[in-house]
Amino acid sequence: MKIHYYPGCTLKQKTTALDVSTREAMKQLDVELVEPEGWSCCGAEYPLTEEKIVGLAAPIRVLRQVQEEGGDVLVTTCSFCFAVLKRADKAIKDDPLKHKRINAYLRDDIKINPLTKERKTDFEEYKGEVRVLHLLEFLRDRVGYPRIRERLKRDLKSLPVAPYYGCRMLRPQKEMAVDNPDSPHLFEEYLEAVGCAAVDYPFKQECCGSYISVSLPAAATEASYRVLRSARMNGAKAVAVTCPLCFYNLDHRQDAIKEAFLDFQGIPIVFFTQLLAWALGVDKALLGLGEHSVPADGLFSEKSSPEVRP
């Protein structure tokens, strides 16, 4: 299976663990990931925060490129990229005027090559037919859990993992339409398919502090503390995330949490794809574990998750 994959900028810079583990896991599942040629940043938060239409050009340009390459699905892992691409796509689908204006912008900037000043004559409008899927949705709907289960090479022995959705993946429900934001199941079912036990805890869709980490670190520290405390209290041995920013706040911030909250005990944070790759038999060295502040090596050991013979 060949599929368009949008890693996003963070995965190419600070948080390569999510990218490499995704690639390794997909190899094991015979899914070939193709990056749209010349993809740019999705705009992170900005396309959604301003009413200006031009902000949508960045995400739509990516989707138009997928269309030009003949793709009908674009898969991402980063919750932020996912939200931006999906909501930008929906914004122009719902509003014919926006659709028209965005294509007018794209027509100009794609027709003229900025380097060679060469004019392209054939411009294909973005039709709004590319489906943006989170990798979790892709694994559930296109790959299917039975196929994942078939290929598991390690037994994770029902490791109690707390799924952390964060704020971006489920809300606003009408636009994201991924799962019920108040009682979601997507991540839980995925963890069970990989061989973990999903821990139910009330903070799975509370915010980790997100960008406030930059301007008001203490607020992010407290928000992250509450999430991790609740996960631990409910018996989790690790917290699984999908978003590089959640990873930053929940993992890198644990030293600050310990300073601020004396009762806090650390807990390793992992990407959902690291668990999958490991369970599918990928070598530990290829999981990007070096990027973790809180060591997660203990979770990925022969002892805790032995190989199974088919």
Spatial distance between the Cα atoms of 50 and 66, rounded to a whole number of angstroms: 25
Residues in the chain: 310
Q: In the complex with another protein, which residue's Cβ is closer, 40 or 265? A: 265
Whether the CB-CB separation of 8 and 42 falls below 8 Å is answered with yes
Q: How far is the CB of 170 from another protein (least distance, A)?
A: 11
Retrieve residue 266's tokens.
């650390």
Q: How far is the CB of 280 from another protein (least distance, A)?
A: 32
Q: In the complex with another protein, which residue's Cβ is closer, 122 or 182? A: 182
- Could you report how far apart the first and last alpha carbons of the chain are, in Å? 24
Percentage helix, strand, coil for the chain under 3-state DSSP, each rounded to 5 = 50, 10, 40
Binding residues for another protein (CB under 8 A): 180, 182-183, 202-203, 230, 233
Retrieve residue 231's tokens.
């996960």
Q: In the complex with another protein, which residue's Cβ is closer, 190 or 203? A: 203
Q: How far is the CB of 269 from another protein (least distance, A)?
A: 21
Q: In the complex with another protein, which residue's Cβ is closer, 90 or 107? A: 90
Q: How far is the CB of 235 from another protein (least distance, A)?
A: 13
Q: Edge-to-edge strand order for the sheet containing 32-34?
A: 32-34, 2-6, 73-76, 131-134
Q: How far is the CB of 182 from another protein (least distance, A)?
A: 3
Whether the CB-CB separation of 128 and 99 falls below 8 Å is answered with yes
Q: Helix 79-94 to helix 57-68 angle, to the nearest 10 degrees?
A: 90
Whether the CB-CB separation of 306 and 156 falls below 8 Å is answered with no
CA 165 to centroid of chain Cα atoms: 10
Q: In the complex with another protein, which residue's Cβ is closer, 152 or 199? A: 199
Q: How far is the CB of 117 from another protein (least distance, A)?
A: 49
Q: In the complex with another protein, which residue's Cβ is closer, 234 or 293? A: 234
